[in-house]
Amino acid sequence: RVPEALVHNEMRANERYHAREVVAASDAVWGRLAVGREDVTACRILPGLVDGDRCRLIIEEVRRTRPPPSTFTMSGRNVRETHVSDLPETKRWLRDELFPRLNTTCDALYDALVLRYNAEYSHSHAARAAQPVHRDDAVATINVALNDASEYAGGGTRFEADDTVVKLARAGDALLHPSHLRHAGAATTRGERWVLVAFMTRRALRDISDHARVFHARAFAARQRGDLDNALVLCRCALAVDSRDGELLVQAAKVSTDIADVRDGTLRYRALALLYAARATKVLPRSAAALHVFGLARLRTARRPANAARAVQALDRALGTEGLDAAQRAALRQTRDIAVRTVAFLENTRSR
């Protein structure tokens, strides 16, 4: 068990580290704005927040904007986005009208984008008009529908923790959510979906939104340099902030597996890996990475053929997921072969 004091100290160090990081980022944007005092703690739908004429004006401004829209790293080529900093009229309206009206505790706009998901460009799974699961680098995110949901199929904002998709019906409806909640842009499968997304932060970040992401990055770096004990402490810190982050659970399972393999051959860390991996597959039931690490953990703790058979099942499900590349497929097949041989081995030793 990781001592609580250690976790606490890491938390404080992280708070300072992250405050610096986010303040540096928000210094680059549009400056300080006066706002109200209402806290943002959960998702909230704000029907009719913006009027339809404004939505049309924003779309028109994007359409006539040259040079071509900038590229946002979260999205594939099937999602086009334009930074609001390239849209003078929309920027003025957002800063002087919408942002003050939202009355959040945020005192800065970190960034804002107009996104355009077009189903036409979606030829393959990897090129869907979607965004992967992520956190936004901010405290609160406002997402404004710029066109009606009747103009497209699919789409909406998916929240990982409860696997719900929020779809806004009318142009001008909005969704306000804490930026640290892991979410994705669900695939638009027909037509075109337009949204304005604005990321709001606080300059004095006392209630920092994004510890889990920063801890996760530090855990990853610690694991890369072979500092497995620290990697595990950092995973624990991140999980203390967000126990339902699937990618983090995968990472924690990998670190525990590494410790078991490299240093501590006892069942302790293997059991821990299995615990994290099982939780990861609950949060991300269709993730090849989660299923793979679960298969490995299940295999390495298997004492009976039924346990090893469960590893084979998980690996089969991983092999059935969409969007695998050749290397992932080969690694999964290899683990599956070992699992199949382990089932046979355990059956043999038992029958003797």
Ligand X SMILES: O=C(O)CCC(=O)C(=O)O
* Nearer Cβ to ligand X (72/307): 72
Asked if residues 110 and 83 have their Cβ atoms less than 8 Å apart, the reply is no
Which among 326, 245, 258 has a CA at the least distance from the CA of 287? 245
Instruction: Mark 7-39 as b/e (b = at least 16 C-beta within 10 Å).
Output: eeebeeebbeebbebbeebbeeebeeeebeeee
Does the footprint of ligand X cover residue 272 (CB under 6 A)?
Answer: no
Q: Quick one: CA dihedral 278, 283, 289, 292, positive or negative?
A: positive
Nearer to ligand X, 244 or 278 (CB): 244
Is residue 247 within the footprint of Fe ion (CB under 5 A)? no
Determine which residue in the list 172, 185, 191, 295 makes contact with ligand X, applying CB under 6 A: 185
Q: Are 348 and 308 in contact (CB under 8 A)?
A: no
**Contact of residue 143 among Fe ion, ligand X, none (CB under 5-8 Å per partner type):** ligand X
We find the least distance from the C-beta atom of residue 185 to ligand X, in angstroms, to be: 3
Residue nearest to ligand X (CB): 185
State the minimum distance, in angstroms, from the CB of residue 59 to ligand X: 15
Tell me the CA distances in angstroms from 27 to 111, 228, 334, one per residue in order: 11, 35, 49
Which residues partner with 117 through β-bridges?
79, 193
111 binds Fe ion (CB under 5 A): no
Q: Which of 90, 157, 209, 335 binds ligand X (CB under 6 A)?
A: 157
3-class SS of residue 163: coil
Q: Does 136 bind Fe ion (CB under 5 A)?
A: yes
By CB under 6 A, tell whether 245 contacts ligand X. Answer: no
Q: How many residues bind Fe ion (CB under 5 A)?
A: 1
Under the criterion CB under 6 A, does residue 131 sit at the interface with ligand X?
yes
Q: How far is the CB of 156 from ligand X (least distance, A)?
A: 6
Q: Which of 90, 104, 122, 143 binds ligand X (CB under 6 A)?
A: 143
Nearest to 211 by CA among 3, 10, 18: 18
Task: Give per-residue burial for 173-195: e unless 16+ CB within 10 Å, then b.
Answer: bbbbbbbbbbbbbbbbeebbbbb
Q: Does 222 sit near ligand X (CB under 6 A)? A: no
Q: Which residues of this chain interact with ligand X, rule CB under 6 A? A: 113, 115, 131, 136, 143, 157, 183, 185, 195, 197
| Binding residues vs Fe ion (CB under 5 A) | 136
